[in-house]
Structure 1
Amino acid sequence: MPRRSVMFTPGDRPEMLRKAPSAGADVIVFDLEDAVAPDSKAEAREEVREVLADPDFAPDCEVCVRVNPTGITADDDLRGVLGNGDQARDAAETLDSVMLPKTEDPADAETLADLLDERDAEVPILALVETAGGILSAENIAEVPEVDALVFGAEDLAADLGATRTDEGTEVLHAREHVVLSASAGGVDAIDTVYTDIEDTEGLREETAFAIELGYDGKMAIHPAQVAPINESFTPAPERVEWAEKILDAKEAADAEGRGVFRVDGEMIDAPLIAQAERVLEYAEAAGEN
């Protein structure tokens, strides 16, 4: 399933956790890191576990938990959410993925994978790269088998670099491009950074369109109101869907004839364009357009 929109919800707000699926995001992230004050971490773990274990909580989207950076706190997070007991076991069945913030190198992701394995939680890792070290190691991080996506964090990166954030984003553009290249090389999803002005819908649409041009598969959201504009931006236009359907129909005929290259409306079609067509239809299906 595509990860067009990845929406964060504070882990210590149970009423918001339960309402999160109604926003329509492809991925909802129960946040135990930045959105939760240090003194509230233990309470947040309990709240997240209770919501995940509730049999009435059955969202039609990917459910992710953002733990704290690898180390003692991340272990505490997993123990709190996926510890012993029937409730924790039920929570584990609802959990679809785990996000690791401030992933600096492959060892960080491997450590989290080991912690998940200790708790028999076979879920993928979304590795958030948001430091200079993480950006430079992005390609190697993407090669860790348990990593299923690279997530670009521009705000933390700018703070790490001492850079000044601008509307144009040129100060993080190289890193933004490096992440999507690394994700593509590793065969994992690339999720773009947040847009911090929740009232600027037009600006969000423009930045999401640019992320799509760069090759990103989805974008993070920090408010439910951002989900629809992001999803709409990733929804292929009808003519694009028609193009993809023609290509895959022609591919089926070409396969039957043993041809690897074929022509559609005067355009020569090979493996890269076939992959593009498949991606277009996947996103159209997610949007209910096909």
Structure 2
Amino acid sequence: MIEAARALTRTVEIADAVPAVRLAFGVGDFRHDTGMANTAVALTHARSQLVVACRAAGLPGPIDGPSAQADSVRTDTLFAAELGMVGKLAVLPADAATINHALTPSIDDIAAATAMIDRLGNLGERVVSGADVPRLASAKAVLRRA
């Protein structure tokens, strides 16, 4: 759990430490420690730091902290996913379904990913440019999440 400014400055070290397997953002404690507002803009840098540290350490994407307001769980989850976070802590059991739904690729996302893999080949046998490699990896990631 990254819950303080000092921890955020050391996310790469923490992510690299054995036996770390995943990072999570303790957003409430972090806000208390830093005095930051509970807004997407105020917390974007911290969330992005966690995403980058996890990637650099070869860990799965981080888990976002819980939403402060029950009516913002879906919006907060979608925003965290845009930044590369792959999960979200829930305060209420009912939040789990909302979080799962927000993190699950849509039918359109799945169709686009499938079309991309069909176009490029499952093993990349029809890749024609360097830009195709991350497109193929992204499409495969969508199907894994689905």
Q: Given the two structures, how large is their TM-score scaled by the length of structure 2?
A: 0.86
User: 8 Å contact 1:247–1:274 — kept in the other structure?
Assistant: yes
| Correspondence for 2:135 | 273
The alpha carbon displacement at 1:188 in A equals 1.3
1:22-52: CA deviations, max 9, x gaps?
xxxxxxxxxxxxxxxxxxxxxxxxxxxxxxx
- 2:88 corresponds to 1:216: no
- 2:129 corresponds to 1:251: no
The alpha carbon displacement at 1:254 in A equals 4.5
The amino acid that maps onto 2:46 is A
Q: Which has the larger radius of gyration?
A: 1
Match of 2:68 among 182, 196, 209: 196
* Residues 251/205 of structure 1: CA separation in 2 closer, same or farther (3 Å cut): same
How many correspondences in the alignment?
144
How many Å separate the matches in 1 of 2:128 and 2:143?
Answer: 19
Match of 1:179 among 22, 44, 50: 50
* Residues 254/152 of structure 1: CA separation in 2 closer, same or farther (3 Å cut): closer
The amino acid that maps onto 2:51 is V
The alpha carbon displacement at 1:248 in A equals 2.6
The alpha carbon displacement at 1:169 in A equals 4.0
* Residues 244/159 of structure 1: CA separation in 2 closer, same or farther (3 Å cut): same
* Residues 239/223 of structure 1: CA separation in 2 closer, same or farther (3 Å cut): same
User: 8 Å contact 1:158–1:165 — kept in the other structure?
Assistant: yes
SS in 1 for 2:22: strand
How many Å separate the matches in 2 of 1:278 and 1:159?
Answer: 38
The alpha carbon displacement at 1:172 in A equals 2.8
SS in 2 for 1:207: helix
Gapped runs of 5+ residues in structure 1? Answer: 1-127, 285-290
| Correspondence for 1:52 | none
SS in 2 for 1:129: coil
SS in 2 for 1:195: coil
Q: Given the two structures, how large is their TM-score scaled by the length of structure 1?
A: 0.46
| Correspondence for 1:15 | none
**Aligned positions of 1:12-31 closer than 5 A:** none
SS in 1 for 2:94: helix
Runs of 4+ off more than 6 Å? none
User: 8 Å contact 2:124–2:136 — kept in the other structure?
Assistant: no
Gapped runs of 5+ residues in structure 2? Answer: none
Q: If each structure's strand is expressed as a fraction of its own residues, which one has the higher value?
A: 1
The alpha carbon displacement at 1:164 in A equals 4.8
- 2:100 corresponds to 1:231: yes
SS in 1 for 2:78: helix
| Correspondence for 1:131 | 4
**What is the identity percentage for the equivalent residue pairs of Structure 1 and Structure 2?**
32
How many Å separate the matches in 2 of 1:274 and 1:221?
Answer: 32
SS in 2 for 1:252: coil
How many Å separate the matches in 2 of 1:177 and 1:253?
Answer: 30
* Residues 247/224 of structure 1: CA separation in 2 closer, same or farther (3 Å cut): same
The amino acid that maps onto 1:197 is Q
How many Å separate the matches in 2 of 1:243 and 1:217?
Answer: 20
* Residues 164/139 of structure 1: CA separation in 2 closer, same or farther (3 Å cut): closer
How many Å separate the matches in 2 of 1:182 and 1:239?
Answer: 30
